[in-house]
Amino acid sequence: MSSPPSARAVRQYAAGTGNLTARIALHAYGTNPQDWFAWLAEQLPLGGDVLDIGAGTGELWRRVDPVRRGLRLTLADFSPAMCAQLRTVPGARVQRCDATALPFRDASFDTVVANHMLYHLDDPDRGLREFARVLRPGGRLAVTTNGGDHLAELNALRAAVGSPGLTLTGFTAESGPGYVARHFTDVTVRRRPGELAVPSAEPILAYLASLAEQPLSAAQASAVRERIRVGADSTGDFRIRQHSVLITARR
């Protein structure tokens, strides 16, 4: 039985790709010279039939060429806007669907990827059960998520201007391995090192705007600018913690 995508995921992603694109843009200020998608691409256990569920704008597949790697790649997302963008990825089949009701036969994939998606599910076990069902015996799972302190300084900025903080619940770096172990074996966790060093307020304001249910007022934006100015280090960068992990496992 499926459950509908979470209300927040629908508000964030169903109608457009702009919120996700604004958030990916902030990560250009990472101190790790290898960006997130390049780091991830290097570690993914890829081969044969691959499903990426909650594939978003398909950024990962602009780093990994599925054709050159000989993959049979299926990209899936519940959002019509994301699926339209995914159709521009060469060599991929695109399927609009919900992660908790995958329209694929049992044992039809060698790898399932779900990159920063499981924390959108009200019940992550429903998604993981589906991922296990569509994986072949011995097939590989690769999922990513964030820790509770990921981007803590951004949350503090939101709180300081009266916007509710974004507490990550459900499938996090802390709880995720336990969820995965209920459905898979050989669970491993790898954390990507690095933090953000952002040299100006604008990308941070764009990120905060992408999360806001209501746009920041001019007074809130100016309060955020001031906090960034005061909180900047001696080189003028505003530092923001990152805590993202890749969890892999075997069916």
Ligand X SMILES: C[S@@+](CC[C@H](N)C(=O)[O-])C[C@H]1O[C@@H](n2cnc3c(N)ncnc32)[C@H](O)[C@@H]1O
Instruction: Classify residue 65 by its DSSP letter.
Output: -
Near ligand X by CB under 6 A: residue from 54, 66, 124, 203:
54
Residue among 52 and 237 whose Cβ is closer to ligand X: 52
Task: Tell me: does residue 246 bind ligand X (CB under 6 A).
Answer: no
Q: Could you give the string, one character per residue 142-181, with x where binding to ligand X holds by CB under 6 A and - elsewhere?
A: ----------------------------------------
Near ligand X by CB under 6 A: residue from 78, 104, 179, 238:
78
By CB atoms closer than 10 A (0-12, 13-18, 19+), residue 201 is buried
Task: Tell me: does residue 187 bind ligand X (CB under 6 A).
Answer: no
Residue among 120 and 227 whose Cβ is closer to ligand X: 120
CB–CB of 118/52 below 8 Å?
no
* CA atoms in the 13 A half-sphere facing the CB of 27: 21
Near ligand X by CB under 6 A: residue from 120, 183, 192, 243:
120
- Nearest Cα to 77, choosing from 134, 5, 185, 158? 5
The token pair at 86 is 């995914």
- Nearest Cα to 208, choosing from 161, 243, 150? 161
Chain residue at closest Cβ approach to ligand X: 56
- Nearest Cα to 11, choosing from 21, 2, 3, 20? 20
- Nearest Cα to 202, choosing from 163, 166, 229? 229
Task: Tell me: does residue 227 bind ligand X (CB under 6 A).
Answer: no
Near ligand X by CB under 6 A: residue from 82, 205, 228, 249:
82
Q: How far apart are CA 90 and CA 233, in angstroms?
A: 42
Task: Tell me: does residue 79 bind ligand X (CB under 6 A).
Answer: yes
Near ligand X by CB under 6 A: residue from 98, 110, 130, 153:
98
Near ligand X by CB under 6 A: residue from 20, 44, 46, 94:
20
Near ligand X by CB under 6 A: residue from 30, 56, 139, 176:
56
CB–CB of 231/153 below 8 Å?
yes
Q: Which positions touch ligand X (CB under 6 A)? A: 5, 9, 13, 20, 53-56, 59, 77-79, 82, 98-99, 115-117, 120-121
